[in-house]
Chain A
Amino acid sequence: MSFIQNIINGILLGGIYALLGVGMTMMFGIVKLTNLAHGEFIIMGAFASTLLAQALGIDPIITLIITVPCMFLIGMVLQSVLINRVMLQGSEPALLVTFGLSIILQDAMLLLFTADARRANVSYSTTNIQLPGGLYISVLDLVVFVISLVTILILTIFLRRTYMGRAIRATSDDTVAASLMGVSVRRTYGIAMGIAMATAAVAGLGVGMRWTFYPSSGGTYLLIAFGVVVIGGMGSIPGTLVAGLVFGLAQVFGGANYGLLVSYILLIVMLAVRPQGLFSK
């Protein structure tokens, strides 16, 4: 494969990597929560989109109309009834709760959906756009890339331009001052988790479209999300986008055998040289 082809593939892979990390970085930055169940949330989204598309005979992308609001609600409820309760006791109990949650969700999915490999089928899964010079772009990868980018863009505009978005950022800066502006911190945390879950629903769709997945696949994507979040500077959304692209490129250039190795060596180098991440605030 040529150098330019690698760059194309790396960028396309980087888009979905950024989306995997964006929900996690939000929870890191705003709620100060390390969500170890984020990988399972993504796989939940993958199952939801794949099975709904099969059952209704529709394109998996259309299932987002159902999965995104549902996952948002689940996230809000989860934060309000479970995680908010332990957050007052410090960050370790919350970390353990999300760890337990990841095990429960993984086993629940195993029970419900069996250990079979799944994939969200689309008609264009093997179609390529031919470019001059023998280069090509996979339509499937391009579609997932565009979905990822649009999701991150919507999230960025929401956080910058709306009252609720500002309230979420304000809460991450100073919870007391935010409450003096009329913001309920608990409710804001609930909404932040809802949004993180909604991004996991979209990321799950992307994962299901690009790769086969199992109930146990969450760990793989959690690891990638972690890498992206750390390189990007925990809590920064533009940082996550850049880090996703860096991670994607590193993996493609590392090839099938050394891809992950190269990515994580990059992560270690990053931690040594600039531990606060690329875009830390």
Chain B
Amino acid sequence: MSESILKVEHVQAKYGDFIAVEDATLDVPAGTIVSVIGANGAGKSTLMDTIAGVHKASGGKIIFKGEDISGMPAEKIVLRGLSLVPQGSRCFIRMTVEDNLIMGSFPKSARPMMKDTLDRVYTLFPVLKQKRNDLSGSLSGGQRQMVAIGRALMTNPDCVLFDEISLGLAPTIIKDIYARIKEISSDGMTVVLVEQDTHRAIRTGEISHVMLKGRVVLSGRSRELGEDEIKKAYFGL
């Protein structure tokens, strides 16, 4: 297995007194697709927000490319090559598709590559090129997800976290988006996928981590763990 690009060590995250993530430890080898699976409320999204710096960890350590990034604000973490596609896409709805994507190139290091990356995003998602001048607020849910993914790629990351991108989308669109993610991964990008759908997550991710009630309860190679064991951990059986 290749060297890990992202290490999460005993991370804890709270909202006020409520502990959303109690103890999360996971390891993401560079260049792989890693799935984080868990039921609604298991703490997956909070963990992703905490890794990306949107939410502050109340304990533990997050190491990205050998550097401790725990406690760093989101706008500094993205400069180091870690990008999050947040749950619900969070497009800039009053901006055009193209302006959304160009926003991804806001980090100074990403600006020189802006035109090239934009072409690459348009090749991945041709529908975005067609709709480049439309407000992203007028797009369908699936297209908004594509904008959010494209925008994350524009920041020129080494590792992208995808937080439940399939939520509320039609199966054919989900299939299409997952195919694109595999394409992104085959270009050498490290991918972390957060999913509620265990079947799809196991099929896509080489490594799976299962979260239950704020803890990572099972980790391993997806093929070796097998679907049954993962499902047991998922439901806490």
A180 to B94, Cβ gap below 8 A? no
A167 to B106, Cβ gap below 8 A? yes
B74 at the interface (CB under 8 A from A): yes
Q: Could you mark each residue 151-175 of chain A with 1 if its beta carbon is under 8 Å from any beta carbon of chain B, else 0?
A: 0000000000001001101101110
A183 to B92, Cβ gap below 8 A? no
A169 is contacted by which of B73, B92, B105, B155 (Cβ under 8 Å)?
A: B92
Chain A residue at minimal CB-CB distance from B73: A179
B151 is contacted by which of A181, A183, A281 (Cβ under 8 Å)?
A: A181
Among B52, B83, B94, residue most surrounded by chain A Cβ atoms (within 10 Å) = B94
List residues of chain B with CB within 8 A of the CB of A110: none
Given A170-B95, A173-B92, A173-B95, A181 contacting B111 (CB threshold 8 A) = no
Given A166-B106, A170-B103, A176-B54, A183 contacting B94 (CB threshold 8 A) = no
Given A170-B92, A173-B92, A174-B90, A180 contacting B99 (CB threshold 8 A) = no
B86 to A169, Cβ gap below 8 A? no
List residues of chain A with CB within 8 A of the CB of B53: 179
A166 is contacted by which of B54, B86, B102 (Cβ under 8 Å)?
A: B102
Chain B residue at minimal CB-CB distance from A173: B92
User: In the complex, how many angstroms separate the beta carbon of A248 from the nearest chain B beta carbon?
Assistant: 28
Chain B residue at minimal CB-CB distance from A177: B90
User: In the complex, how many angstroms separate the beta carbon of B132 from the nearest chain A beta carbon?
Assistant: 14
B103 is contacted by which of A166, A172, A184, A281 (Cβ under 8 Å)?
A: A166
Complex alpha-carbon distance, A281 and B135, angstroms: 11
B84 at the interface (CB under 8 A from A): yes
Complex alpha-carbon distance, A174 and B52, angstroms: 16
B79 at the interface (CB under 8 A from A): yes
Q: Could you mark each residue 106-122 of chain B with 1 if its beta carbon is under 8 Å from any beta carbon of chain A, else 0?
A: 11000100000000000
List residues of chain B with CB within 8 A of the CB of A169: 92, 94-95, 99
Interface residue count on the A side (C-beta < 8 Å): 19
A180 is contacted by which of B86, B93, B95 (Cβ under 8 Å)?
A: B86
Complex alpha-carbon distance, A279 and B86, angstroms: 30
A163 to B106, Cβ gap below 8 A? yes
B75 is contacted by which of A163, A172, A184 (Cβ under 8 Å)?
A: A184
A180 to B92, Cβ gap below 8 A? no
Interface residue count on the B side (C-beta < 8 Å): 28
Complex alpha-carbon distance, A4 and B107, angstroms: 52
B78 to A180, Cβ gap below 8 A? yes
A133 at the interface (CB under 8 A from B): no
- The residues in B between 39 and 84 inclusive whose CB is less than 8 angstroms from any CB of A are 52-54, 73-75, 78-79, 83-84
User: In the complex, how many angstroms separate the beta carbon of B23 from the nearest chain A beta carbon?
Assistant: 25
A182 at the interface (CB under 8 A from B): yes
B104 at the interface (CB under 8 A from A): yes
Complex alpha-carbon distance, A166 and B105, angstroms: 11
B159 at the interface (CB under 8 A from A): no
List residues of chain A with CB within 8 A of the CB of B151: 181
B90 to A183, Cβ gap below 8 A? no
List residues of chain A with CB within 8 A of the CB of B105: 163
Complex alpha-carbon distance, A181 and B151, angstroms: 8
List residues of chain B with CB within 8 A of the CB of A176: 54, 74, 86, 90
A179 to B54, Cβ gap below 8 A? yes
Complex alpha-carbon distance, A184 and B102, angstroms: 17
Complex alpha-carbon distance, A163 and B52, angstroms: 22
B91 at the interface (CB under 8 A from A): yes
B90 to A182, Cβ gap below 8 A? no
B106 to A174, Cβ gap below 8 A? no
Given A163-B111, A173-B95, A174-B92, A182 contacting B54 (CB threshold 8 A) = no
Complex alpha-carbon distance, A185 and B54, angstroms: 12
User: In the complex, how many angstroms separate the beta carbon of B56 from the nearest chain A beta carbon?
Assistant: 13
Among A172, A176, A177, A178, residue most surrounded by chain B Cβ atoms (within 10 Å) = A177
User: In the complex, how many angstroms separate the beta carbon of A97 from the nearest chain B beta carbon?
Assistant: 24
Chain B residue at minimal CB-CB distance from A165: B99
A181 is contacted by which of B54, B94, B103 (Cβ under 8 Å)?
A: B103
List residues of chain B with CB within 8 A of the CB of A185: 75
List residues of chain B with CB within 8 A of the CB of A174: 90-93
Given A166-B99, A179-B73, A179-B75, A173 contacting B106 (CB threshold 8 A) = no
Complex alpha-carbon distance, A123 and B151, angstroms: 54
A-B contact pairs, 17 of them (CB 8 A): A166-B95, A166-B99, A167-B106, A169-B92, A169-B94, A173-B94, A176-B74, A176-B86, A177-B91, A178-B92, A180-B83, A181-B103, A181-B106, A181-B151, A183-B106, A184-B73, A184-B75
The 3 residue pairs across chains A and B that have the minimum distance between CB atoms: A182-B107, A179-B74, A173-B92
Q: Beyond A179-B75, A181-B78, A181-B103: 4 further Cβ-contacts under 8 Å?
A: A177-B86, A180-B78, A182-B106, A184-B75
